[in-house]
């Protein structure tokens, strides 16, 4: 199988690439424009480790360059693991966000239909496309919001930031192109992914950012009351899911799946701070600021659909995943 990994120098792309390599799965070409915060650093690591790396520096929002690459490489699977990651940045530069998260997927769909119609396209969407989900019944506890309900794919979409618009439009185009042109597409609506080789910032990658602040004794700025809850997913679990989808490609036509750590792996910002304090035996300084646009008080994925169709489920527990990641940050920063 020939696999085109777009965004292979980003956090998720890097980890998925490494996982596929470790399984000796497919002939891989990485395409990345190296615009991500840590892409150059990750590319250096990849090049040092894999002397035979096949890498092309391209911006896939440029249709002609992308089409030439696809006509030449003829991938049987395209992993769209690229994109602009932060809601905050989508507000600062809406055009860049639109190009990176929507136009790039539109270009990929066009190339898929014209040049490689039997190939699989896997796209990374986001839980942000469900909006603030204000109707959800939640209870406020001392350190977190709780709810009996998890969010499944039937929940209505509600785009309330440029990021949600670009991600949501791409997610919907993936479905429509599959339906009309009979293409094998799948979107994974992710909540928060974390793990080794994530070099998070204040804009995106809060688990990574909080641990880094703790290590360097920097005050953490919490936007909102810190009781926001997410079901966090370790990147190794996501890599395993992507491989499962590649193997099971017949079942993934035009599907969108909610993907996260599920109920067992849900935690609030304040919970994370306590976990880091306990592990590092320190006291962390933090202060509160206004809530950010597009933030959800509670988002925990209902994983029933993805579990039923693929048999996949998250294996890395929140405590083990976070503890290992803290060790990794201690060694690598
Ligand atoms: N990390 C998460 O928790 C999370 C959650 C939900 C959704 N996602 C989505 O997953 C995707 C990957 O996230 P990540 O955390 O790995 O981000 P990242 O910034 O670490 O990696 C993205 C990579 O894509 C590349 N890229 C961006 N635009 C490109 C373009 N036009 N052409 C070619 N390459 C391009 C960047 O250079 C970078 O290497 C993004 O689309 C993001 O929105 C991530």
DSSP assignment of 261-329, as one string?
S-GGGEEEHHHHHHHHHHHHT----EEEEPPPTT--SEE-B--HHHHHHH-----S-HHHHHHHHHHHH
pLDDT at 262: 97
Catalytic-role residue among 155, 163, 177, 298:
163
CA 282/CA 305 separation, integer angstroms: 40
Q: What is the pLDDT of residues 263-298, one digit of tens each?
A: 999 999 999 999 999 999 999 999 999 999 888 999
Q: Tell how far the Cα of 81 is from the centroid of ligand 1, in angstroms.
A: 6
Is any ligand 1 atom within 6 A of the Cβ of residue 168? no
Is any ligand 1 atom within 6 A of the Cβ of residue 239? no
| Spans of all domains in the chain | 2-332
pLDDT at 294: 81
Q: Tell how far the Cα of 65 is from the centroid of ligand 1, in angstroms.
A: 19
CA dihedral (153, 158, 159, 161) in degrees, to 10, reads: -110
Q: Tell how far the Cα of 101 is from the centroid of ligand 1, in angstroms.
A: 9
pLDDT at residue 299 greater than cutoff 80? yes
The whole-number average pLDDT for the span 118-127 is: 97
The whole-number average pLDDT for the span 164-190 is: 98
Q: Tell how far the Cα of 11 is from the centroid of ligand 1, in angstroms.
A: 7
User: How confident is residue 13, by pLDDT bands cut at 50, 70 and 90?
Assistant: very high
Q: Tell how far the Cα of 36 is from the centroid of ligand 1, in angstroms.
A: 7
pLDDT at 293: 87
Q: Tell how far the Cα of 139 is from the centroid of ligand 1, in angstroms.
A: 33
Rg (CA), the chain: 19
pLDDT at 252: 75
Is any ligand 1 atom within 6 A of the Cβ of residue 7? yes
User: 195: alpha, beta or left, given left = phi > 0 and alpha = psi -120 to 50?
Assistant: left
Which protein residue's CA is at the shortest distance from atom 41 of ligand 1?
A: 83
Q: Which of 78, 85, 257 to mutate to test the pocket of ligand 1 (most atoms within 8 A of CB)?
A: 85
Quote the distance between the C-alpha of residue 311 and its chain's center. 20
Q: Tell how far the Cα of 3 is from the centroid of ligand 1, in angstroms.
A: 17
Is any ligand 1 atom within 6 A of the Cβ of residue 201? no
At 204, list the tokens. 């995106």
pLDDT at residue 117 greater than cutoff 80? yes
Contacts of 242 (CB under 8 A, 6+ apart): 16, 19, 79, 122
pLDDT at residue 59 greater than cutoff 90? yes
Q: What is the pLDDT of residues 239-267, one digit of tens each?
A: 999 999 999 877 679 999 999 999 999 99
pLDDT at residue 11 greater than cutoff 80? yes
For the whole model, what pTM was predicted? 0.97
Q: Looking at the CA of residue 8, tell me the nearest atom of ligand 1.
A: 39
Q: Looking at the CA of residue 82, tell me the nearest atom of ligand 1.
A: 24
Is any ligand 1 atom within 6 A of the Cβ of residue 13? yes
Which protein residue's CA is at the shortest distance from atom 9 of ligand 1?
A: 124
Percent of the chain surpassing pLDDT 70: 99
Is any ligand 1 atom within 6 A of the Cβ of residue 172? no
User: How confident is residue 138, by pLDDT bands cut at 50, 70 and 90?
Assistant: very high
Is any ligand 1 atom within 6 A of the Cβ of residue 144? no
* Residue 163 falls in the annotated catalytic set: yes
pLDDT at residue 333 greater than cutoff 90? no
Query: If residue 66 lies in a helix (H) or strand (E), which one and from where to where?
Result: helix 63-73
Is any ligand 1 atom within 6 A of the Cβ of residue 195? no
Is any ligand 1 atom within 6 A of the Cβ of residue 66? no
pLDDT at 67: 98
CATH number among 3.40.50.720, 3.10.20.440, 3.40.190.10, 3.40.50.2000, domain 2-332: 3.40.50.720
Mean pLDDT of the chain: 96
């Amino acid at each position: 199988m020939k696999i085109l990994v777009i965004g292979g120098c980003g956090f998720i792309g890097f980890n998925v690439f490494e996982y596929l390599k470790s399984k000796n799965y497919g002939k891989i070409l990485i395409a990345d424009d190296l615009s991500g915060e840590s892409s150059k650093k990750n590319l250096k690591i990849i090049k040092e480790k894999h002397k035979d790396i096949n890498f092309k520096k391209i911006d896939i929002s440029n249709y002609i360059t992308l089409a030439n690459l696809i006509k030449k490489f003829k991938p049987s699977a395209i992993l769209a693991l690229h994109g602009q990651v932060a809601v905050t940045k989508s507000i600062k530069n809406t055009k860049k966000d639109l190009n990176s998260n929507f136009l790039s997927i539109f270009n990929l769909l066009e190339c898929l239909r014209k040049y490689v119609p039997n190939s699989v396209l896997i796209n990374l969407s986001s839980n942000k496309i469900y909006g603030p989900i204000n109707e959800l019944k939640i209870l406020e506890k001392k350190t977190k919001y709780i709810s009996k309900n998890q969010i499944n794919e039937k929940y209505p979409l509600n785009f309330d930031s440029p990021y949600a618009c670009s991600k949501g439009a791409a997610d919907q185009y993936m479905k429509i192109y599959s339906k009309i042109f009979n293409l094998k597409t799948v979107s994974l609506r992710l909540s928060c992914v974390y793990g080794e080789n994530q070099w998070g910032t204040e804009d995106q990658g809060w688990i990574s950012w909080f641990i880094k602040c703790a290590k360097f004794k920097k005050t953490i700025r919490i936007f909102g009351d810190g009781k926001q809850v997410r079901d966090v997913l370790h990147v190794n679990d996501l890599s395993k899911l992507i491989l499962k989808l590649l193997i099971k490609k017949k079942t993934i036509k035009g599907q969108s799946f909610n993907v996260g750590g599920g109920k067992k792996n849900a935690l609030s910002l304040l919970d994370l701070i306590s976990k880091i304090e306990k592990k590092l035996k320190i006291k962390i300084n933090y202060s509160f600021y206004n809530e950010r646009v597009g933030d959800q008080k509670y988002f925990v994925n209902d994983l029933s659909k993805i579990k039923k169709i693929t048999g996949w489920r998250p294996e890395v527990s929140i405590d083990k995943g976070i503890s290992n990641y803290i060790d990794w940050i201690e060694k690598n920063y």
